[in-house]
Amino acid sequence: MKRASTHDAIIIGAGPAGTSAALALARRGWAVAIVEKSAFPRRKVCGEYISASNLALLDRLGIGDAWRGEAGPEIRRVGLFSGNASIEAPMPGARSRPAARNGFGRALGRDILDTLLLDAARSAGVEVFQPCRAVAIERDGDRQAVRIQATSGSPGEEGMTLRASVIVAAHGSWEPGPLPSQLGKQSRSSDLLGFKAHFTGSALPPDLMPLLTFPGGYGGMVLADRGRLSISCCVRRDVLARLRGSLARERGGHVPAAEAVERHIMATCRGARDALADARLDGPWLAAPPSS
Ligand X SMILES: Cc1cc2nc3c(=O)[nH]c(=O)nc-3n(C[C@H](O)[C@H](O)[C@H](O)COP(=O)(O)OP(=O)(O)OC[C@H]3O[C@@H](n4cnc5c(N)ncnc54)[C@H](O)[C@@H]3O)c2cc1C
* Minimum distance from residue 137 beta carbon to ligand X (Å): 10
3-class secondary structure, 72: coil
50 or 204: CB nearest ligand X: 50
- Of 243 and 287, the one with the shorter C-beta distance to ligand X is 287
- In the complex, minimum distance from the CB of residue 51 to ligand X, in angstroms, rounded to a whole number: 8
List contacts with ligand X (CB under 6 A).
12-18, 35-38, 44-50, 133-134, 170-172, 175, 177, 194, 232-234
Q: What is the C-alpha to C-alpha distance for residues 111 and 97, in angstroms, rounded to an integer?
A: 30
Q: Dihedral sign for Cα 208, 212, 218, 222, please.
A: negative
Distance CA 21, CA 56 (A): 16
CB of 78 to ligand X, least distance (A): 12
The nearer residue to ligand X, 10 or 66, going by C-beta atoms, is 10
Handedness of CA 218, 222, 224, 230 (dihedral sign): positive
Whichever of 172 and 205 has its CB closer to ligand X, that residue is 172
* Under 8 Å between Cβ of 162 and 129: yes
Residue 23 CA to residue 125 CA, distance in Å, equals 9
SS3 label, residue 123 = helix
When the beta carbons of 185 and 249 are compared against ligand X, the nearer one is 185
The minimum distance between CB 26 and ligand X, in angstroms, equals 17
| Smallest gap from residue 290 Cβ to ligand X (A) | 11
Of 66 and 287, nearer to ligand X (C-beta) is 287
Of all residues in the chain, what percent are helix, strand and coil, respectively (each to 5)?
Answer: 25, 30, 40
Instruction: Give the residue nearest to ligand X (CB).
Output: 15
How far is CA 28 from each of CA 31, 153, 207, rounded to the nearest angstrom? 9, 35, 39
Minimum Å gap between C-beta 181 and ligand X is 9
Contact status, residue 218 vs residue 212, Cβ threshold 8 Å: yes
